Amino acid sequence: MTVQSSAIARAEEVPSTNPGALLAGLGVVAFSFSFPATVWALDGFGPWTVTGLRGVLAALLAGGTLVALRARLPARGDWPALIVVAIGCVLGFPLLTALALQTSGTAHSAVVIGALPMATAVIAALRTGARPSGVFWGAASVGALTVLVFTLAQNHGRPTLGDLFLVAALLLCAAGYAEGGRLSAHLPSWQVIAWGVVIAAPVSIAVSAVALAHEPVEFTGSAVGGLVYVAAVSQFLGFVVWYRGMGLIGVARASQLQLAQPLLTLVWAVALMGEELTAAVPLTAVIVLGCIVVTQRARTG
């Protein structure tokens, strides 16, 4: 057994009460606040401004961390995948979800994006050439169909522009997650998101400069607080805590904790945003989460 496989084995043997589980759980909770925080940020900033400033502030944190920890530059072959991470997770997903949240409710958006882990698994399987079992593809298909039916039913048979933004965001982020997961096999996971944020920094700066000149800005307390949260936590620090937890308890156990994220977002939508949920929202979320559980337990190799 190699040193790497021994380390993975030891990580998977760590009891769920290990502090690593608490760190991973903290990461899930951190990410579950992202949509409410984005809505707050949109209270004073336009969607393009939120996306640009979120990237700039996160780049300052990520770049400072890389310098402080004397991280080496990634290998030349890693840069294409890191660019996908930058486009999907740092630029595409934040912008498209901010645009969607201008017209779509937090709870509705959380259900649609709840298919993200499943979409990531599908893209990763296609990207690596793996041959998932029929159970895997069956569950993935049911989950995708459930989200589609929910989306159409909520809008009288027609997807809204916000829904299209959410689906595009889901696919871009899934591609970024898949490439980031592949890179994490040989590059420290926290560095994957850190380099992705830094690579996107020039675009984030340009977007911020143009957006600030064309979109209205109002420095309300909720807007500033929401912006700071999505920049510092959602875009960087949440990943650091999450990946650290994964390193301590193993990917399999940590991934099960992430299944709670969409439901947590629904709780915040009601408790913090005052949204009212129809019966279809929690029902759809539960079905999608069940499909994700099946895809994670099914044979994927």
Look at residues 241, 238, 119 and name the one whose alpha carbon lies nearest to residue 178: 119
In the predicted model, is pLDDT for residue 6 greater than 50?
A: no
Is there a contact between 109 and 163 (Cβ–Cβ < 8 Å)? no
Question: pLDDT tens across 41-71, in order?
Answer: 999 999 999 999 999 999 999 999 999 999 9
3-state helix/strand/coil string of 224-248: HHHHHHHHHHHHHHHHHHHHHHHHH
HEC readout, 148-213: HHHHHHHCCCCCCHHHHHHHHHHHHHHHHHHHHHHHCCCCCHHHHHHHHHHHHHHHHHHHHHHHHH
- 259: tokens are 């299944």
* Number of residues assigned to the chain: 301
Assign residue 274 a region: left if phi > 0, alpha if psi is -120 to 50, beta otherwise?
left
Q: What is the pLDDT of residue 138?
A: 84
User: Which of 94-103, 148-157, 207-216 has the least mean pLDDT?
Assistant: 148-157
Higher-pLDDT residue of 219, 279? 219
Stated pTM of the model: 0.80
Residue % of the chain over a pLDDT of 70:
86
User: Residue 166: which of 3, 301, 35, 44 has the closest Cα?
Assistant: 35
Q: So what's the pLDDT on residue 136?
A: 78
Cβ pair 265, 51 in contact under 8 A: no
Residue 89 tokens read as: 């997770």
Conformation bin of residue 255: beta by default, left when phi > 0, alpha when psi is -120 to 50: alpha
Mean pLDDT, residues 25-46 taken together:
91
The number of beta carbons lying within 10 Å of the beta carbon of residue 283 is: 14
